[in-house]
Amino acid sequence: MATDLNAELSKKTAIFDLKVWEVIGIAVGLFIVIILSVLSMCLTSRKKSRRARDNIPLTQIPTVSKEIKEVRVEQVSAEEFVPRDGILLTIHDKSSEKESDKVLVHLGMGKVKNGDNSSQSGSFHHLEKDGGGSQSGDDSGWGHWFTLRDLDLATNRFAKDNVLGEGGYGVVYRGQLINGTPVAVKKILNNLGQAEKEFRVEVEAIGHVRHKNLVRLLGYCIEGTHRMLVYEYVNNGNLEQWLHGAMRQHGYLTWEARVKVLLGTAKALAYLHEAIEPKVVHRDIKSSNILIDDEFNAKVSDFGLAKLLGAGKSHVTTRVMGTFGYVAPEYANTGLLNEKSDVYSFGVLLLEAITGRDPVDYGRPAHEVNLVDWLKMMVGSRRSEEVVDPNIEARPSTRALKRALLTALRCVDPDSEKRPKMSQVVRMLESEEYPIPREDRRHRRNQAGSMEIESQKEFSDTDRSDNPDSRSNSRGYQRT
């Protein structure tokens, strides 16, 4: 039987005198080539259509008034817009009592109406109102869409030499746009959906607000699985670098420069907590997140852990996150978060700037490891003059030191209810008088063992020996 099959396959055909088995082989080969060609064409056309979707033109979401004080965030499901639940940001201008614009923000993967599960890039849809259209220029409160190619060029293919910093959820690169604008590009790591969450949080937290002491969000990149945020570049380091790190090679921050940075930070937090709705709780206030510009103005950055607190909400329950040493005790113990958690972190930041010490330093003796505990011990022992950073050449006056320490002590009060609001902290730091109001003093006299009362008594005893206020160094630092 095998011999017969071989004989049949070996017969010559009319096709160029080719044998039967040769014709069969050629036919099978042609069939495979045709199948591969069809698959290749399908993949190419699909890639082109996806690229066309991803390359969104650099249009902008409408200009937002600088006077905006309120932004409402609502979860909506918009059938006509195809994507799943989005976020409708209704922006109100309190000065005119009218809605200036509505923007539906959809971040993530969408689904087409016909049930096809193919993915799409996330997209922003502008719902036009009052004839408002997108405008060019950098005055937009939302910023540009950037393509992956734009940011690849800006950062020299995300070169290691351009890395400004790294965090748990991303890497920040220095970049320069085609028009010469310096930028900081935050590339969010795709950690099992964390990139999507991080991106959403930062957009919700500061995409719609503007304040001179908040780092400005210039734009976004949403392409495939990539999620990137483009910020203004602040080129004078951060407070952590000036107090403990690389910027110390330029000198040490003067007292006046430290107060200016802290006052700017306090104003930014007061704005986030009290001037907008929903309020924003930063949740990661620390020295490395306080950027500093050439004029020593503070720029609060990194809103990846921020939480929104809507009207009527006194707190939100969340997984405890933040930086060890700055986290408020009640939040660490219960997971209950509100703006008073930021107030505690600011108090630690204030003590860090006064003393030049890290919030937690295991290289010090056991009783000095925790900055807050050590500071309370020093004030209670009437040794407050000894806590000032020895690197400050022109020491602050006793009055200025008293004001700063009392403000810090109030901010780090273990009882969150007794901590001041950030707007009160701003007034305390700006005031020439004692930062604790009379009614608060009467209330605190009931607490016999209160450390703040001890510090007030000690400061009152030394008030007559105030030093004259030291003069400001125009550079903000003294040379080493």
Q: How far apart are CA 329 and CA 412, in angstroms?
A: 9
Check if the beta carbon of residue 274 is closer than 8 Å to that of residue 423. yes
Q: Is 284 a catalytic residue?
A: yes
Is the link from the previous residue into 278 a cis peptide, with omega within 30 of 0? yes
Known binding-site residues for ATP equal 187
Tell me which of 150, 284, 293, 302 is the catalytic residue. 284
Q: What is the DSSP string of 251-278?
A: -EE-HHHHHHHHHHHHHHHHIIIIISSS
Binding site: what residues are annotated? Answer: 187
Q: Which residues contact 417 (CB under 8 A, 6 or more apart)?
A: 340
**CA-to-CA distance for 120 and 54, rounded, in angstroms?**
8
Asked if residues 301 and 215 have their Cβ atoms less than 8 Å apart, the reply is: yes
CA distance 61 to 148: 19
Tokens of 243: 């107090």
* Percentages (nearest 5) of helix, strand, coil residues in the chain: 40, 20, 40
DSSP string, 328-379: -HHHHHH-EE-HHHHHHHHHHHHHHHHH---SB-TTS-GGGSBHHHHHHHHH
The strand pair at 336-337 and 163-166 is best described as unpaired
Q: How many residues does the chain have?
A: 480
Residue carrying the six token digits 């700037």: 353
**Residues belonging to the active site:** 284
